[in-house]
Chains A and B, each alone.
Chain A
Amino acid sequence: MARSIMNGMVMRGVVACLPEKEVFNEKDYPWFELSEIRKITAMAGIKSRRMADPDTCTSDLCCAAADRLLECLAWGPASIDGLVLVTQTPDYVMPSSSCLLQHRLKIPETCACFDVGLGCSAYVYGLWIANSLLAAKACHRILLLTGETPSKFVNPRDRTTALLFGDAGSATALELTNDPDMDAHYIMMTDGKGAGDLIVRGGMFRNRFPEDQSQCSLFMDGAHIFDFTRNRVPPLINDLMSMAGKGAQDYRYIVFHQANEYLIKFLAGKAGISLDRVPMSISQFGNTGAASVPLTLALAGPPQEASGSYHIMLLGFGVGLSWGGVSMRVPEDLILEHTVYQSQVVAQV
Chain B
Amino acid sequence: MDTQKALEWISDVLGTNGRSVTLEDTRHSISEWDSLGALLLLSRLEEDLNIVISADEIAAVGSVREICDLMEKNQAFSLS
Interface of A is mostly: helix
Q: Whole-angstrom distance from the CB of B6 to the nearest CB of chain A?
A: 18
A160 within 8 A of B: yes
B80 within 8 A of A: no
Pick from A33, A160, A224, A266: contact of B36, CB under 8 Å: A160
CB distance A40 to B35 under 8 Å? no
Chain B, 6-44, contact with A by CB distance < 8 Å: what is the 0/1 string? Answer: 000000000101000000000000001011101111111
A210 within 8 A of B: no
CB distance A262 to B35 under 8 Å? no
Q: For residue B59, which residues in chain A have a CB less than 8 angstroms away from its CB?
A: 223
Q: For residue B46, which residues in chain A have a CB less than 8 angstroms away from its CB?
A: 266
CB distance A160 to B35 under 8 Å? yes
| A231 vs B16: C-alpha distance when bound (angstroms) | 30
CB distance B43 to A226 under 8 Å? yes
Interface of B is mostly: helix
The size of the chain A interface, using a CB distance under 8 A, is 17
Q: For residue B38, which residues in chain A have a CB less than 8 angstroms away from its CB?
A: 222-223
CB distance B55 to A39 under 8 Å? no
Sorting the interface of chain B by its residue count into under 10, 10 to 19, 20 to 34 or 35 or more gives: 20 to 34
CB distance A223 to B15 under 8 Å? no
A36 within 8 A of B: yes
Q: For residue B39, which residues in chain A have a CB less than 8 angstroms away from its CB?
A: 43, 160, 222-223, 226
Q: Whole-angstrom distance from the CB of A282 to the nearest CB of chain B?
A: 15
| A222 vs B38: C-alpha distance when bound (angstroms) | 8
CB distance A43 to B43 under 8 Å? yes
A181 within 8 A of B: no
Nearest neighbor of B32 in chain A, beta-carbon distance: A36
Q: For residue A333, which residues in chain B have a CB less than 8 angstroms away from its CB?
A: none
Known: A160-B34, A160-B36, A262-B47. A223 touches B17 (CB 8 A): no
Pick from B15, B43, B56: contact of A36, CB under 8 Å: B15
Can you sample 16 A-B contacts with CB below 8 Å?
A33-B17, A35-B15, A35-B17, A36-B15, A39-B40, A43-B39, A43-B40, A160-B34, A160-B36, A221-B35, A223-B35, A223-B42, A223-B55, A223-B59, A226-B39, A227-B54
List B residues at the A interface (Cβ < 8 Å).
Answer: 15, 17, 32, 34-36, 38-44, 46-47, 54-56, 58-59
Given contacts A33-B15, A223-B58, A226-B39, 16 further A-B contacts (CB under 8 A): A36-B15, A39-B15, A40-B36, A43-B39, A159-B36, A160-B39, A222-B35, A222-B36, A223-B35, A223-B55, A223-B59, A224-B55, A226-B43, A227-B54, A227-B55, A262-B43
